[in-house]
């Protein structure tokens, strides 16, 4: 019995030192030395300031910016409280909020006549989805162009240039990074959009 207690404690402490001390320190050190940008959260810099992360969505509301998907993280895109809605397929709350989002999208983007892209009426899994589908960006082009006083073609070109295909041609789906697109839009307009 005493042998077992000793063996259990010694093995536990030694393995804990290896797995919880040496191992994460080694991985952190190597990651910080080899890939510091990615290891620190892929921050996006504008004018020497951190404008966000390449991987984390943001809550855009102005008419002159492209909007991301509905988010259930905190009050929306709370990057310290990731969460999905967890509403099920027969949830009245989900059905009603999808109807409300659809109505709002139709009102904000009256020029878009086609069916709405499903990602734009549904909350993402993390609440921090940095992407929308290409259609999700295209449906907002007319509104963004009007709000910024830019030609529609020019904004549409910008969206096209920001569509990323499946990774290695195989994995995942076509998508647009909303923060990247909006920053490019700001650069195009020569600074922040007015009147947002």
Q: Return the residues of window 135-154 that contact other proteins according to CB under 8 A.
A: 136
Complex with other proteins: residue 5 or 190, whichever CB lies closer = 5
Q: Candidates 100-108, 140-148, 155-163 — which segment interacts with other proteins by CB under 8 A?
A: 100-108
Long-range own/partner contacts, residues 133-136 (CB < 8 A, 24 or more apart) = 133/173, 133/174, 133/175, 133/176, 134/159, 134/163, 134/174, 134/175, 134/176, 136/69, 136/176
Q: Counting contacts by CB under 8 A, is residue 30 touching other proteins?
A: yes
Q: Return the residues of window 48-67 that contact other proteins according to CB under 8 A.
A: 49-62, 65
- Build a one-symbol-per-residue string for 164-193: x at contacts with other proteins by CB under 8 A, - elsewhere: --xxx-xxxx-x---x--xx--x-----x-
Joined together, the tokens standing for residue 36 give 């510091």
Give the nearest distance from C-beta 59 to other proteins in angstroms: 7
């Amino acid at each position: 019995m005493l042998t077992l207690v000793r063996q259990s404690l010694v093995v536990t402490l030694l393995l804990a030192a290896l797995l919880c001390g040496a191992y994460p320190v080694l991985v952190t050190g190597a990651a910080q030395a080899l890939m510091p940008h990615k290891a620190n959260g892929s921050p996006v810099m504008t004018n020497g300031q951190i404008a966000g992360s390449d991987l984390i969505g943001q809550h855009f509301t102005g008419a002159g910016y492209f909007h991301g998907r509905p988010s259930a993280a905190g009050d929306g895109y709370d990057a310290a409280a990731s969460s999905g809605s967890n509403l099920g397929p027969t949830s009245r709350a989900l059905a009603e909020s999808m109807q409300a989002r659809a109505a709002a999208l139709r009102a904000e983007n009256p020029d878009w006549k086609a069916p709405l892209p499903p990602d734009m009426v549904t909350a993402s899994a993390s609440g921090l989805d940095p992407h929308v589908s290409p259609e999700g960006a295209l449906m907002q082009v007319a509104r963004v162009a009007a709000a910024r006083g830019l030609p529609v073609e020019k904004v549409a070109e910008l969206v096209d240039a920001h569509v990323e295909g499946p990774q290695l041609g195989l994995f995942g789906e076509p998508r647009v990074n909303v923060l990247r697109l909006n920053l490019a839009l700001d650069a195009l307009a020569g600074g922040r959009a007015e009147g947002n």
